[in-house]
Structure 1
Amino acid sequence: MLDTASPSEVRHETARIDERAPDFEARSTRGLVRMSDYRGRWLVFFSHPADFTPVCTSEFLAFQNAADRFDALGADLLGLSVDSLYAHLAWIKDIEARFQTRITFPIIEDISMAVARAYGMIHEGSASTAAVRSVFFIDPDGYVRAMIHYPMNVGRSVEEVLRVLSALKESDANQVVMPEGWKPGDPAVLPPPLDQAEADARSDAAGGAWYYTRQEASGDA
């Protein structure tokens, strides 16, 4: 378990797309949290560099304001930084007092940096121990399906996080792939054809090409 491992024991591990998310057990602002607790629902697991910082505060307000939208997509939110639990508690209490927003999702402490290193949230050789702005999309079976990393000085777009989550769910549900800029309600694209017959059939479809066929053009919408 990652909660008992030293940073040197996990430094060569990293979360990878289509592999199981590394499990862990950690204290959080909402009690003890285990990665395995989230099986059966999607999880948006994200790190931030430090509490009481301007960009992180703007992100946490945005994530909380969108919490109902994540819940409607069957997803939970989970935050992390290498700050202590007590710093997390003080920060979210101050956010509530100053911005009238109560943070309802857990924020885990990772003072040992074991979880952050296992997920690649702290870059090897970095002079800083702060976690970069990472987002991991973990499916109900516990597999990492997508990752986004931002530098410390650029805030995330919660709308983009929602878009990626929606795209992953749509792709899974309908065996389609999502083109550039796809948003809920837009047409998807069919996966590459598997044989010549399928390629020929798509060549006759209106509004597309055998290698780029919108879902509705094939009659599969």
Structure 2
Amino acid sequence: MTLRLGDTVPNFTQQSSEGEINFYDWAGDSWVVLFSHPADYTPVCTTELGEVARLKPEFDKRNVKTIALSVDDTESHTGWISDIEDTQSVKLNYPILADPDRKVSDLYDMIHPNASNTVTVRTVFIIDPEKKLRLTLTYPPSTGRNFDEILRVIDSLQLTDHHSVATPANWKDGDDCVIVPSLKDPEVLKEKFPKGYTEVRSYLRMTPQPNK
């Protein structure tokens, strides 16, 4: 199946490095970052898994759980985790799904035949507490994922879900935001944005981040 933004992601039950996981139950009311890997013992992915482990306090602050996937089995994962912890100097603190039957890979459309018929591409899925897909990113094998960018997107999604703003190019938490164009009533604007705003154009109005 093809997953599009706003779709409810499919549930699954699959073995992992931390035992059997029912995805919906495991996710609970948290946001989730699910990121896939083509195979165990791959060099770029080894660095990525270590980086996500180091960033756990940042994900925790945002009510985000992380979970990786590789098409190899749990026995292989156990050996790879030992390598990750040794080479990246960090304790792995989240599960790696085992997907030798490609069940989850097929559910989430992680197999791209023109890249490989047998292994997953390196995709990131950001899923909200309602199990809605909010972002996908797909990387080539040669380029490590930028997890600072993934945290930035989560900050933007969580902010814009609760305030009538969008985030401009290169926005980071604490920067000014864009007021959504649909909001036009001056009294409503005054109420929603007590810090004021700057009208650069009628459609481009900048305001300090509302929740800061």
TM-score (norm 2): 0.87
SS in 1 for 2:153: helix
Question: Counterpart in 2 of 1:31?
Answer: 19
Q: How does 1:137-176 map to 2 (within 5 A)?
A: 137-176=126-165
In 2, Cα distance between the equivalents of 1:121 and 1:89?
22
Cα deviation per residue 1:155-204 (whole Å; 9 max; x = unaligned)?
A: 10111111111111111121311111111001111112266x67xx89xx
Question: Counterpart in 1 of 2:124?
Answer: 135
Q: Indicate yes or no: 2:79 matched with 1:90.
A: yes
Higher strand share: 2
Q: Indicate yes or no: 2:40 matched with 1:51.
A: yes
* Aligned counterpart for 2:203 among listed residues 206, 211, 219: 211
**Mapped contact 1:134–1:148 kept (Cα < 8 A):** yes
Cα deviation per residue 1:74-111 (whole Å; 9 max; x = unaligned)?
A: 10000001111111111001222344321110000111
Q: How does 1:36-115 map to 2 (within 5 A)?
A: 36-37=24-25, 38-115=27-104
In 1, Cα distance between the equivalents of 2:173 and 2:198?
23
> What number of residue pairs does the alignment pair up?
203
Higher helix share: 1
Percent of residue pairs bearing the same amino acid type: 34
Amino acid at match of 1:146: L
Question: Cα 1:194–1:117, aligned 2, differ >3 Å: closer, same or farther?
Answer: same
**Mapped contact 2:47–2:84 kept (Cα < 8 A):** no
Structure 1: where are the runs of 5+ without partners? 1-12
Question: Counterpart in 1 of 2:193?
Answer: none
Structure 2: where are the runs of 5+ without partners? 191-196
Cα deviation per residue 1:104-159 (whole Å; 9 max; x = unaligned)?
A: 10000111112112212111454442211111110011111111111111110111
